[in-house]
Amino acid sequence: MRRLPKASTWAGSSLRCAAIGRVVPAGACTIPLPPIFTRRTLHRHGESQRSLFSTSPPKASPQGEIGCEIKPIPSTPGSTTTTGTVATITINNAARLNSLNSTLISQLTSTLQTLASPKYRPTLRVTIIKGSHPPDSPKTPAFTSGADIYEMSALQDASAARTFISNLATLCETFRTLPCLTVAQIHGLCLGGGLELAACADFRYATAASSFSMPETKYGIPSVIHARLLPDLIGWQRAREMVYLARFYGASEMREWGLVDRLCADEEELESQVHGLVREVARHGVRAMRVQKELVRVWGEEDLKTGIERGVESFATMFRDGAQEPRLYMKEFTGRKKLKEAGGKGS
């Protein structure tokens, strides 16, 4: 299998947003960036921001930021034509294993809500979430180690706890219901609320070095909110094992269980496989993909009869504008067939 270079796989123009306050010229890609992507959002956190695995409080306030990059998807490698855009969101809090404090939860939610807006909906095909890990970092790599345990330990009452977990639930639900396809690009630790965030993705690709756990009961709290997705992904008994026993699992076992969709040898292969998925998705009808994703969500939440009825309506919806997208994509198929038949007659 040919691997893509480590340099940017998406050749050509790009939009770099902006949690770091820097915008790279977009060239042919002219999608404007909303305020969240064009102002500096380098968030400094106080003593509450600490790693899940810290043995002592940090001596200095760490930094954290949410980065987002939007790039055009070439129709083929090296092509100058594009087939939509892909957004890559990076959780930049490597000093704390990319743990999620309240500020980062809020910023990540806002970023996803912006990507779901009408400004981006027509062209955005895929959104990827991954964790940062600088090459020179002594820390263990992590997709995200989940909710900030030190911030949770400082919660004073049920009201504060409800606010914190409700905000995390909003983040996960925003990611789960994003109109475009979503990918959790996992390298390293994927724990607790971070695993729940990954469970909300349409696809989870991971390196062999990744590890997974729902450790909440070890810390005197239950696994809640989008841990509810686990039984649908891995089955009830395995979900019970994960949330009751709080064990750690390797990526290969999670692949066997069905939580991980694609297992990759290293970060380079992970990047290559995710970009290959993006290009494959970009070949399909953009509206059809959005309608299909919404329908799959309905299948998971509603009864059989409702799912079938919504399917009928979804099909009809695609023909309300003169069937522009179905005609375009079906014409490509019928045109090839006619050319093939014409070639056969002339031989």
Who has greater pLDDT, 245 or 9? 245
Tens of pLDDT, residue by residue over 289-311, are: 999 999 999 999 999 999 999 99
What's the average model confidence in pLDDT over 252-278?
Answer: 98
At 21 the pLDDT is 32
- Per-residue pLDDT band for 167 (boundaries 50, 70, 90) equals very high
Q: Under a CB-based contact definition with an 8 Å cutoff, are residues 246 and 213 in contact?
A: yes
Lowest-confidence region among 62-71, 76-85, 166-175, 278-287? 76-85
Q: Is the pLDDT of residue 87 over 60?
A: yes
Return residue ranges of the chain for CATH 3.90.226.10. 15-283
Short-list 53, 94, 77, 133, CA closest to 282: 77
- Per-residue pLDDT band for 78 (boundaries 50, 70, 90) equals low
At 139 the pLDDT is 86
Short-list 268, 267, 244, 241, CA closest to 253: 241
Task: Look up the CATH superfamily of 15-283.
Answer: 2-enoyl-CoA Hydratase; Chain A, domain 1 (3.90.226.10)
Torsion (CA) 206, 207, 209, 210 in degrees, nearest 10: -10
Short-list 129, 144, 53, 134, CA closest to 90: 129
- Per-residue pLDDT band for 83 (boundaries 50, 70, 90) equals confident
